Structure 1
Amino acid sequence: MLISVQALRAVAAWVVVCHHFMQIFFDFKASGPIGEFFVAKGAVGVDIFFVISGLVIYLSTHERDMPASRFIALRLLRIVPAYWLYTLAMGLLLLFAAPWLPHQVIGWQNFLLSLFFIPSENPGGYGLYPTLNVGWTLNYEMLFYLLFSMVFLFERRHRPLIIASALFVVTEVLARSGLISRFYGNDIVYEFLLGIGIGMAYQRGWIRQAVWLPLAGVALGLLLIQNLDNSQRLLHWGLPSALIVLCCVSLEPLFRGSKLLKSLGDCSYSVYLLHVLVLYGGLLLAQRYSLNPYMVFACCVPVIAVGAWLSYEWVEKGLYQRMRARLDARRSGRQAQAV
């Protein structure tokens, strides 16, 4: 794993945390340049995540062949347990704290569909969001994984074209014609392809290691994001996000060997899932005791950080390793019986 990408993944996760802090505590009504930045631009962390996801999936599979079912099984083992855990926790929070969270409503149909990554209208009335609101991005991730699993049926040199064609058909044909949910008719899905493109360039040795030029590229990407809205998300935020990811890969020598940055990146998925729960808990305390929101946020940050680390060690890594060992044992047993 590229440590530079891990570091960027951690930054993206915490940018999203700050974005949702402004949403939950201030209803996106910010004052001051920092608050305004996180309100208007904090969601770009998702775009960076999607580019990184395409990059990581490509690099981890481009020299491997496996059954599509195994690829999907491994992704489910990696993603589902933590997501189900925090979706359940969010459901319980909404059941017991609904009077204090008027904009958050739980519905059993939405809850069950959320568990299976099926987009549905949130009973709160604000769009196609699952019970754990941040899980909307995982619906796109699961679509990407499902379509990517098909590439193992083709020669390696054709795989990028296959996944690009599949995403195009789903987004531009099936979703826009109403054959599947309109949720998938969003050009944000093409950000996975940007990550695959970066992975191809890296694998072929086209990304040179440097310092000053990549730093300038990062600055340019941030400048573009700062000055463009997300009305055309792929162009305005997706391409600058891809530029930032590309430049971070070029900066890898500066990050290589950092265990701290690797750990921060490892925990980023749990940070992403857990932070909304902690922030809502902080909001309830702030409302009850009339606490300063920024003081509450300062207390929430270490809770999120420590909670995410424990979640990664116990749920993401620990449970994943045990479940994968069982999956591999069953696979070996079936192969032995076939012989």
Structure 2
Amino acid sequence: MLISLQALRALAAWMVVCHHFMQIFFDFHASGPIGQFFTDRGAVGVDLFFVISGLVIFLSTQDKDMPAGRFLLNRAIRIIPAYWLYTVLMGLMLVGMGDWLPHSAIDLPHFVLSLLFIPSENPGGYGLYPTLNVGWTLNYEMFFYLLFSLVFTVPQRYRPLIVAAALFAVSQVLGQYGGASRFYQNNIIYEFLLGIGIGVLYRRGLIKQALWVPLLVVGVCAVVIYYLPPSNRLLNWGVPSAMIVLACVAMEPWFKGSRWLKSLGDCSYSVYLVHVLVLYGGWLASQRWQLNPYAVFAVCVPLIAAISWCSYVWIEKRLYQRVKAWTDARLARPASTPIA
């Protein structure tokens, strides 16, 4: 993966961490400009994630032909183990300490639906959020992967159009049924297509390397995001996020070779999954012993980083490699020839 994208993934993950710190510790009632920024705009990290995801999935599957089921299996092996682990841990936290956590509840049907990436109303009454509430974005991710698997049935030049048409058609059809289906009518889902568009430009060599103009683009887009509300998520935050991603790709030579940026990006998925658990633990400690929230956060940050790195190495990397090797061997095994 491009190091510029790794750096941006890390930034996006930690923006979401700060956003949820303001939510869990202050219920989004900020007392200063920095806190207000993360309260109001920290969630834009999700938009960056979606654009990057569309770009990465497009680039990583170019010039490759595989069965749709194989693509979905590879993505499931990559996404599911860590998500299931932290969903189970969150479920245990809710069972054991749910009476002390704000707006938190759990029941078995909702827990099972969470594991299956099926949107359903959270028992806490705050919307279509899974047990591990940050997992709502993974419901979109898995939906995108499911539709993206269609591209392996058509010639490569038609793939972006097929994905765009399928995403638009299915999300609109599902939205007509109401209930949990309306989840997929949110226009944030089209940010994956913005990433695919950047991938098309990159493959055709239309993104020229530069520094000052891309930096200017990043600055302008940051201002736009700061002043525009997320009422129209795709236009107000999605498009500027896509421009930031495109600008960072143009600045790749200035990121290339940075091992620490690569490492930060590598563990960004685990940062995203782990941080809510750590922040809830920190919040409980601050309530129990009347600790300063910012002092607790200063402890939570390195703890999140350490757990996330271990999670990346042991689950995302080693476990993934072992499970993928096992599934590859099983799929490559020739069918036994019946004895005449």
Write out aligned runs for 1:128-207 (5 A).
128-178=128-178, 181-207=181-207
- Report the TM-score, using the length of structure 2 for normalisation: 0.98
Report how far residue 337 of structure 1 moved: 6.3
Task: Tell me whether 1:271 sits opposite 2:271 in the alignment.
Answer: yes
Q: Is the 8 A contact 1:171 1:187 kept in 2?
A: no
Gapped regions of structure 2 (runs ≥ 5) = none
- The equivalent residue for 2:297 is 297
Corresponding residue of 1:284: 284
The one-letter code sitting in structure 1 at the alignment partner of 2:293 is P
How far apart in 2 are the matches of 1:105 and 1:179? 20
- The answer to whether the 8 Å contact 2:120/2:180 transfers is no
SS in 2 for 1:181: helix
Deviations 1:163-221 (A, max 9, x none): 00011112223323449711111111100000000001001100000000000010011
**Is the 8 Å Cα contact of residues 128 and 180 (structure 2) preserved in structure 1?**
no
Q: CA RMSD in A?
A: 1.3
Matched, 1:236 2:209: no
Superposition deviation, residue 135 in structure 1: 0.1
Identify if the C-alpha distance between structure 1 residues 65 and 179 changes in structure 2 by more than 3 Å, giving closer, same or farther: farther
Q: Aligned residue for 1:54?
A: 54
Cross-structure match for 1:317: 317
Q: Specify the alignment match of 1:16 in structure 2.
A: 16
Deviations 1:40-68 (A, max 9, x none): 00000000000000000000001110000
Aligned length: 338
Give CA-to-partner distance per residue, 1:79-137, whole Å, 9 cap, x none.
Answer: 00000000000000011111211311111111000000000000000000000000000
Code of the aligned partner of 1:170: V
- Give me the whole-angstrom Cα distance separating, in 1, the residues matched to 2:4 and 2:337: 44
Q: Which residue of 2 aligns with 1:123?
A: 123
Paired residue type of 2:283:
L
For residue 149 of structure 2, what is the amino acid of its counterpart? S
Pair 330,134 (structure 1): closer, same or farther in 2 beyond 3 Å: same
Shift of 1:334: 2.8
CA contact (8 A) 2:274 2:304 kept: yes
The residue that corresponds to 2:42 in the other structure is 42
Could you tell me which runs of 5 or more consecutive residues in structure 1 were left unpaired when the two chains were aligned: none
Cα distance in 1 for residues equivalent to 2:28 and 2:102 = 16
Calculate the TM-score normalised by the size of structure 1: 0.98
- Report what 2:220 is aligned to: 220
Task: Name the CA distance, whole Å, in 2 between partners of 1:324 and 1:337.
Answer: 26
Paired AA for residue 20 in structure 2: H
Aligned to 1:92: 92
> Contact 2:267/2:309 (CA < 8 Å) preserved in 1?
yes
- Contact 2:17/2:272, CA 8 A, preserved across alignment: yes
In 2: Cα distance, 1:180 partner to 1:133 partner: 15
Distance change >3 Å, CA 193–CA 152, structure 1 → 2: same
Aligned-partner SS, 2:98 = helix
Contact kept in structure 1, 2:119 and 2:180, CA below 8 Å: no
Name the CA distance, whole Å, in 1 between partners of 2:97 and 2:54: 37
2:67, 2:114 → 1: CA distance?
A: 27
Q: Is the 8 A contact 1:15 1:38 kept in 2?
A: yes
